[in-house]
Every structure is written in C-alpha cells, then in structure tokens.
Amino acid sequence: MENRQSKKNVLKLSVLAYIPIGILMLLMSVLGAVFQSKTWNIEIFCTIKICEIVALVLPPVLLVIGLYQKKCYQKKWDQGTFSKERQFLIEQRSKAQDVTEQQLKVLPKIRKSADNRARLLIACSVIGAIFAGILGNAVVYIIVAIYMEMGLSRLCFRKESDPFILGDNDLSKEKYPYLYQMAERARDALHCSGDIIITVTGECNIGIKKVAGYYNIELGVMLAGIESEDELFAMFLHEFAHMKEEEQDGSGIEYEYRNWLLYGMVESNLQAITEWMFLYQDTRYQCEFELYEYASSLIKELKADQSMASVRQAAASGLLKLFYFDVFSWEEQGNNFAPLYAPKQPSSHFVTEQIDYWQQQLSKREVDWRNLMEHELPAQSDSHPTTKMRLDALWITSYQLVKDASCDAYRKEQKAVCGLMDKLIYCELSEEYEENRKEQYLEPYRQIQEWKDEGQPILQHEYARILDALLQVGEVEAALLFCDRVIRELPPEISAYAYFTKGRILIRRYDERAIELIYHAIENNSNLIQSGLDEIGYFCCLIGNRAELERYRKTADELMQKNEDEYRQLGILTPSDQLEREELPDGKLDIILSYIQSVDENQILHIWLVRKVLPTGMASSVFIVQFKKECPPDQQEEIYQKLFCYLDTLDDRCYSLILYDKLMCKNFKKVKESCVY
C-alpha cells in the first residue's frame, strides 16, 4: 500500500513545494518595490550586504563541511578487514540491550540535526530573499529559491496524510469479518489502538507497519493457507507486540524516518544537490540505524514471542510450519520441477496447488524437518533467532504440530484468501504470459533442443548457458549429469560454474560432498564467491555442522577480503589505476574479437583493451565495451552477458569486462593502441 501511494504523494508534494517558493518570490518583488527607493546610510547598507552574503555563502560552506564529516565518519567506522567487522558486530549483539538503548538516544539527535539544517536553509533563503529584494539584486532570487526548495523538501512534507485506499490485494472488513475479528482481538490483547487493514501478499510470512494511521498487516497467502486459526492468532499477537514496543520506546518514529529516507523523499528538480547537502546526516543515520537494527533484532523477536505465551502450543505449531515451509522451498530447487511457464495457459490455482503440494511433502518429510529444526545453528547475520531458540523461550518441550481445530468461519475465509490470490496471480500472469513464456520457457527449451541436435557438445564458453537453460526448464537431473561431463572434460578453471551448479543441487539433497564442490568453484572463479559462500553458510547452519561452520567463517573472511582488495578492484577503473598496453599471446586477441563479432549484432561501437596492475602485483586484461546509443538496454544486457560468460571461461589469464559509461574515468583511452574494436 505504501508503494501504491508513494508516486501520487511524490507528485503532489513536488507541486506543493513550489507554492511557498512562489509566495517568496512575490515577497521579494514587493520588498524590492517598497524599499528600493529608500536612501540608506552606509552603515545600514553594509549590514544588509553582509547579511545577504552570509545567507548566500553559509549553505555551500555547510555542504563542504558535511562532505568532510562524512569522510571522517566512514573512516571512523572502517574496521579494516572483514574479520574485524564481523567481530565488531558480534560484540554489539553480545551487549544488545545496552547498544539498543544507546542507539535510541543517538538516532533522534541525528534526525533533529538534519531537521535543523533544513530549517537553516529556509532561514538563509528568507534572509537572502528579503535583503536581495531591498538591494534589487535579481540574480540572488534564483539562489535563495533553490535553498528554499531544498529545505522544504526535507522538512515540511514528511508526514503522509492521504487516506488509506484499498487495493486489489487489501482485504475488506465486510468480506473477511472473522480475520479482522482475530486481528482486533490480538490488538486489544496488547493494548494497542487503531484501525486495521489486512493486505495479502504472495509470500509465506507476516509483517505489520503503520500506514496513514492504520495498522497494516501484510499477511502472506502461503502462511494464511497453512496456519490454523489458533496458529494465525498467535502470529497476530507477535506482530502487535512489535507495534506496542515501537510505540513505547520510540523506535517506531525511527523506523518511519529510515523508510522516509529510503523511499519517501519528495522528488524535486534539485534532489541530487539536496542529497549532497544532507549526505553526512543521512549516511550517519542509516549506519547507526543498521547497527541498532542488527543489535536489537534478536531480543526484539524473543520479546515479541512472549506475547504468544497464552497460546504457546499453537504458537509453537505455527513457528514449526514456517520453518518447514522455508526448508521445503529450499529443497525443491534440488529436484526436477514443473516450470511456471510450461503450460500454454497460466494456472488459475497456483496458490492452492502449492499449498496442496506442501501438505503432501509435510506428511513425508515432517520427521526429517523436525530433526533439522532441533539441530539448526544460528547464523551471525540472522535477524531472527532459530526456531528452536524461540520454542525453548516459550518453554515448549514437545515439538509437534497441533491438530487443526479451526472453526468453519475461519476455514471459509482462509479458502477465500487463497482463492483471491489465485485470481490476482492469474490476472498478473495473463497480462504478458505469451511473451514471458517465450522468454523463460520456450527460448531455453529451444536452446536445449538445438544443443541436443548438435550432439550435446561441451564448449567452454557455451556450457554455462546450456546449464542455466536446463535449470530454467526444470530439468535438474539432466543438469546434474551435464555438470559431471563438464567436470570430466574441461580444466578446473573453466569448469568452475559446473562445480558450483552441481554443489548447489547436491547441497539441497543433504550431500555434504557439495561443500567441497562449491569451495573448488569459488577458488577458481571469483565471480562465484558471494553466492557460493551463501550456499555453504546456510547449509552448515541448517544441518548443525558446527566444525564446518567455523571453517566456513574463517574461509569467508579470507575470500571476501581478497574479493574486496583484488577481484573487485580489477573490475573498476579509477584515476589512480596503473594501466598498461595489453599484449595478449599471438592470435589470442583475434580469437576473442572474432567471438565478439559473432555475437555483437552490430550494436557495439567500440571496445578498448588495457592491462590493469594492482599494487599487490595481481593483474587483469580489462575489456571496456561501448554500445551504440540506439541499442536497447535489454539487447545490451544480452550481448554483455554473452561476452562476460565467454571471458569468464578463458583459462589463460584473468579477464575483466566493464560497460562503458560517459561518467566513468577515461584514463584507458590514453593507453597507446587501446582501442581494439
């Protein structure tokens, strides 16, 4: 709902911001007409002139000071290495209560500092305008109008006042009275006050926020479809406990302000300048808020869980279902599946079919999933405690799902919610179904058929595309067999993506050999570091492998540090870079350019090639590609991906591919004979 209203509000506020500016201009004209004919003595004239100069010069001075403050602030928070940064965050969470209280004192001060700067801009605008009018200095009018708009855009139109307008996925109280009765009972139990709007989403989760004075409950349709009446009521209690805490400790204001910084600012013609003017305050606020959110998240969740103590068995059952659904969704990526766009027409019962399938898997996998829950380890970056931690905090000793004793009214509305989302998803899919089906199913299917017709060859710069196509059409088993072929027939440096893909499939089958496969992949291809580490970290926590988790954390620190210090630096260009003319082995450049010509579709304007050398001695052959102006973005992306995959599978040296941008550093053009295409 917030997103639906934001565009309308932004347009309205952008227009409203010009009203006081217009009034200000009129005021300046009137003052000029009234006072311009006055005769001033030299002292008064000099005083007026000084006031005008101060009002005009002060904002630019504050901007420069702010940029310097931001630089110093970032330097202060720079921990030097990923290992130290991780250790710092662990320390903050270990003293979560103290850090939370401290941050809730710091954040309002930063917010007020930004507001005071906005007020100062408005004051400078008014003072400068009045004295410019007296002196008849018309040029100043434009400057002070800019200051006024910058100040108003940050200060006057922050609060959203539009009424809450129901959308297609917002449930009306008339059609879903029982769900609203449940939510209102939870609200009253936590002594909150305010009307409620329930919005259904396509996820398996639940959340709540204040929008236009309403408690907006975002209810995931998958959660609504699998939770019983008592289980969902427990979830409502948990969410309203968050609202109660935010109202009591003032954190709700900070959440609103952070969201306003990210999504709700008034768009104006001077937005870029305004962002620079408040860069220090905004950067500091967001960093301090992230620290607050990280340190407080676990204790806030456990505290909210205590609100469910009166229905602890139902709460435990609901939490178990949430965990089971997450694991179910993760496991499904390791098996053959029916692609969404395989049928000629979209399914009209997508949600219902998914829930029915989950119920079938639950009857088969519940014991295994419960075992995972009992052994799961907490990830250091998680915002929620593990399910077992939450159940233990509720004094639950029997980890069993409770029997569904929902009343008929609840079951009827539960079915209606699923039916509503079935309809909405069907309508959304139908809008561009043929086009999306062609792109996401028919095209990869065609690529696979052509590859099979050619005898299923393994080409080092093409195999990744075939692997992705197999996965896209749901042929996971075929992709696994293809990975084995690639690993057997190609060198390790080239087959890294096959190692990664095989590991990603096997890890969802709880085959611990997958860990070494993924490590092998990221050691040979830096582009797989982040996604590979994410796979290993999640798996080690899920199965409770503490020894492997410690190894992962140590390896992750080392690889992420190397990625930051070396690999990432090779993929960007800066004025201080050491660039040289690149001399590839005989015939290598011709081979690369020949491939580029075969896929460029006559849309590439120029390609430059230079050698970038880091202080550590690591170097890369950097290709900078510039497309023609008339080349559509989607075509650019397609060609760029082909070039990236090709260079990524060359094993003779390190290659980088950079997309040309008119604002980028152009020092590569100074390298002799760097333009090769």
* Closest C-alpha to 169, from 355, 391, 419, 387: 419
Residue with structure tokens 């909210």? Answer: 304
Query: 219 forms bridges with which residues in the sheet?
Result: 200, 206
In a domain, 373, yes or no: no
| Cβ neighbours for 576, distance < 8 A, ≥ 6 positions apart | none
> Does 395 reside within a domain?
no
How many domains does one find in the chain? Answer: 1
Dist CA 53 CA 212 (whole Å): 42
Which residues form the domain of 662?
A: 578-670
DSSP state of 333: G
**Distance, CA of 379 to CA of 608 (rounded, Å):** 44
CA-based nearest residue to 628, from 583, 582, 677, 561: 677
Sheet holding 578-581, edge to edge: 578-581, 604-613, 619-627, 655-659
For residue 250, the SS3 value is: coil
The tally of CA atoms less than 13 A away on the side-chain side of residue 246 is 21
Spatial neighbors of 418 by CB under 8 A, at least 6 apart, are 221, 224, 225, 351, 352, 355
Residue 118, amino acid: A
Residue 155 near residue 274, CB atoms below 8 Å: no
Average pLDDT for consecutive 10-residue bins of the chain (677 residues)? 43 54 65 59 74 87 92 80 76 84 93 93 84 70 81 70 74 96 96 94 93 91 96 97 91 88 69 85 93 89 93 96 97 94 93 95 96 94 89 91 95 96 94 92 95 92 92 96 95 91 97 96 89 95 95 88 77 82 84 88 89 83 89 88 84 81 79 86
658 within domain boundaries: yes
- Is residue 19 in some structural domain? no
Q: What is the DSSP string of 512-559?
A: THHHHHHHHHHHH-GGGHHHHHHHHHHHHHHHT-HHHHHHHHHHHHHH
Which residues, at least 6 apart from 287, have a Cβ–Cβ distance to it below 8 Å? 73, 77
Q: Give the pairing of strands 604-613 and 619-627.
A: antiparallel
CB 481 within 8 A of CB 451: no
Q: Which two tokens stand for residue 532?
A: 């590979």
In this structure, is residue 631 part of a structural domain?
A: yes
- Determine how many CB atoms are found less than 10 A away from the CB of residue 605: 13
The CA distances from residue 407 to 132, 232, 317, in Å, are 73, 13, 17
Query: Residue 620: which of 574, 672, 568 has the closest Cα?
Result: 568
Q: Identify whether 9 is part of a domain.
A: no
Contact present, 48 and 134 (Cβ < 8 Å):
yes
The pLDDT assigned to 160 comes to 53
Amino acid at 334: G
| 605 domain residue, yes or no | yes
Assigned domain for 622 exists: yes
Q: What is the CATH number of the domain that holds 612?
A: 3.30.70.1350
